Chains A and B, each alone.
Chain A
Amino acid sequence: MSSNDPQGYKKTLNSPYTGFKGWIDSRLPLVRMMEAEYLKFPVPKSLNYFWSFGGIAMFCLIGLILTGIFLGFHYKPSADEAFDSVERIMRDVNFGWLIRYLHANLVSFFFIATFIHIFRALYFGSYKAPRELVYLFGLTMFVLMMGTAFLGYTLPWGQMSYWGATVITNLFSAIPFVGDAILKLLLGDFNVGDSTINRFYVLHWLLAFAIVGLVVFHVITLHMTGSNNPTGSEPQSWDETVSFHPYVTIKDLNATIFFFIILAFVLFYYPNILGHSDNYIRANPMVTPAHIVPEWYFLPFYAILRAIPDKLGGVLAMFGSIAALGLLPWLDTSKVRSCLFRPVWRICVLLFAINFLVLMYMGGKPAEGIYVLISRIGTAYWFLFIFVLAPLVGFLETPRQPLSITNYLQSKKA
């Protein structure tokens, strides 16, 4: 298109397709976009199965929204009716038990996939330039996920729902001066009550769809830079890439099916193993259960909260632990991305993952004696890893020369 052709810009709207497909595409360029981003999109050919967990997480999200819609047809968000309506779903609604157990267990599997996905990003340096925004959108989604999961957990209105909601919303009372006012605003009451469950239900939906919106941004930013890969080296030619379809679609589908087989096993044989039996007792504002435990996926952060012997300090440490992760792209000073070529950082990252699991265990234990001590060491390592080790190791470590994608694949064959 030449500059003296005033209509020239419109030529970009001409579709390469004909017929009905072309008619749609020249008005709504979805067909072109789908082809460019999902069929022909070049992906490094050295991806391993760690790269399937983003897709798996997306399938979990779709499943949650689908089951959520069908649960919403029967659920009643009020303090008087919520518990009974959930029991009705379990007993009287056709296949209600299946849909609710799916919803409850899919959340856990969503978190499993997300934890592995985040570990992948840390281990192979996916957070480093130029993928900082991909990473930040991802972390934001993770925070929203935790919010959505928390809100959803209050909805069955069992004892754990009620007291979990009480404890977590009371975190806001730690804010100096305005804490109590914020808490009242949040609950719409002086206590977790009828107006709380009503708004939590609305927010549960709202945040779920906010996550969907962020997925779009996560993918747009990813498709600007392209996928990272185990070597951390960018593809140097088309030869080092494969097209998204069929190579990645089939591989991710394969991984998803295996992942969902495990889900099906838990779903059909141990549907309550990841939940707490106290939540089958109707919420009672007069009696707190002896041992309050959050859902398993919150435990590492719960351990951090309890590790700090100060109300405000604990809350800040807990939220700060995730916020700090967002600084990693700028705190990590190394020029090399992948841990495959960073001997010292590799150990730090693996320790971080182990530390995460240790904190998860500690979060499920009573806050006393040795458990508190270990939680404190774990919390200290979390922040040490981000604020000290990330900049320092980048300077001090001597990384190996990263292999190109082709050489990496050859070395794996040999």
Chain B
Amino acid sequence: MSENKTPRRDFIKLATMTLGGVGAASLAIPFITSMNPGKDTLALASTEIDLSPLKEGQSLTVIWRGKPVFIKHRTQKEITEAKNTDLNDLIDIEDDADRVQNDKWLVVLGVCTHLGCVPLGQKTSDIKGEYGGWFCPCHGSHYDTSGRIRKGPAPKNLPVPPYVFLNESRIKIG
């Protein structure tokens, strides 16, 4: 009997500590979850945009989740350039067809994939970089007309946010 005593006590101790640990972890869940975006923040996570005022060659910057989204009504020249790029010249290989739903409209997140600055190129007067897309003034990254990284320290293409065309001239981001 006395030989059994120690393992029995060990078992009770271990079981108690396990239960306490599970309890503490369960208690931690609501506290940690509370730091995630609230329901009101999530409610702002989708944005609808009317594209009809945008003429060919013009760009629009909209805010989605507090970040700028570049919407570009591409010209035929820009589309051709983006389509005809040799994929082997790219740093982050991605075909233009995989980055657009409609050739005329390019929608990308306007945040440089290097360190998070907003690249220039939205205004007609802006420097657009060597590839006619965008140029990040912080550390000199050049993006092409498909928003792909071509030159400079940024490692990735400008990401494409999730969006859908609600009709011909209206999209919903997020």
Contacts and interface: CB of A to CB of B under 8 A. Distances in A.
Contacts of B88: none
Interface string B30-63: 1101111011110000000000000000000000
Most buried by A among B33, B34, B41: B34
A73 B34 contact: yes
Interface in A71-106: 73-74, 88, 91-96, 98-99
A28 interface: no
A92 B41 contact: yes
Contacts of B36: 94
A354 interface: no
Contacts of A185: none
Contacts of B31: 66, 70, 95, 99
Q: How large is the interface on B (under 10, 10 to 19, 20 to 34, 35 or more residues)?
A: 10 to 19
Interface string B15-43: 00000000000000011011110111100
B40 A96 contact: no
B40 A94 contact: no
Contacts of B38: 74, 88, 92-94, 96
A98 B40 contact: no
SS class, residues of chain B in contact with chain A:
helix
Between A66, A70, A94, A96, the greatest number of chain B beta carbons within 10 A of the residue's beta carbon is seen for: A94
Nearest to B41: A92
A208 B24 CA distance: 23
Report the interface size class on chain A: 10 to 19
A73 B39 CA distance: 15
B33 A95 contact: yes
B3 to A, nearest CB: 22
Contacts of A73: 34-35
B39 A91 contact: yes
A125 to B, nearest CB: 36
Contacts of B39: 91-94
Interface string A98-134: 1100000000000000000000000000000000000
Nearest to A102: B30
A73 B41 CA distance: 14
A25 B118 CA distance: 52
A94 B33 contact: yes
Given A70-B35, A73-B35, A88 B40 contact: yes
Contacts of B40: 88, 91-92
B97 to A, nearest CB: 39
Contacts of A94: 30, 33-34, 36, 38-39
Nearest to A94: B33
A99 B41 contact: no
Question: Which of A88, A91, A92 has the most chain B CB atoms closer than 10 A to its own CB?
Answer: A92
A91 B40 CA distance: 9
Nearest to A250: B16
Contacts of A98: 30
A81 to B, nearest CB: 14
A96 B40 CA distance: 12
- Residue in A74, A88, A91, A95 whose Cβ sees the most chain B Cβ within 10 Å: A95
Contacts of A96: 34, 38
23 contacts: A66-B31, A70-B31, A70-B34, A70-B35, A73-B34, A88-B40, A92-B39, A92-B40, A92-B41, A93-B34, A93-B38, A94-B30, A94-B33, A94-B34, A94-B36, A94-B38, A94-B39, A95-B33, A95-B34, A96-B38, A98-B30, A99-B31, A99-B34
Q: Give the 9 A-B residue pairs with the shortest CB-CB distance, closest first.
A: A95-B30, A92-B38, A92-B40, A92-B39, A94-B33, A93-B38, A95-B34, A94-B34, A98-B30
Interface of B: 30-31, 33-36, 38-41
Interface of A: 66, 70, 73-74, 88, 91-96, 98-99
Given A73-B35, A92-B40, 16 more contacts: A70-B34, A74-B34, A88-B38, A92-B39, A93-B39, A94-B30, A94-B33, A94-B34, A94-B38, A94-B39, A95-B31, A95-B33, A95-B34, A96-B38, A99-B30, A99-B34
